[in-house]
Amino acid sequence: FIPKYRRKVMYGKIGKEVGEILSTVCKITGVKLIKGGVCPNHVHLYVSIPPKMSISEVMSKLKGKSALMIFDRHPEYRDKYGRHFWARGYYAETIGQVNEETIKKYIEEQEECSRIEG
């Protein structure tokens, strides 16, 4: 998923903070973070979702709670983005057709991304 207007705002220290925030939100919501990457203008997450939760429910919680936490740490973003740090929508894929190592390798090979480990 991407920040609003696909702005390149998640780099350096801020990228690492966003990774920490997403990791925290995953723990709070009961989602297992396997691997992730925060790039300047998008995020990759490889997660395991409990069967009782839908993908849309998880994404709503991840994006909503993380946005609030980002705004708490960086009030200047609230002025730029209003109430929404993340853009609407996301891309989700199940791993049925691809093995786990392929997904991990893809996330690791993304340039300029801060790594998130579960």
pLDDT at 116: 74
CATH number at residue 25: 3.30.70.1290
Task: Report the alpha-carbon distance of residue 29 to residue 9 in Å, rounded.
Answer: 25
Q: Domain range for residue 48?
A: 4-117
What is the total count of domains within the chain? Answer: 1
First-residue to last-residue Cα distance in the chain: 18
DSSP letters along 8-35, please? Answer: ----HHHHHHHHHHHHHHHHHHT-EEEE
Catalytic residues: 106
79-97 confidence digits (pLDDT tens): 887 889 999 999 998 887 7
Both structure tokens of 41: 């203008």
pTM above threshold 0.95: no
The share of the chain scoring above pLDDT 90, in percent, equals 63
pLDDT at 117: 72
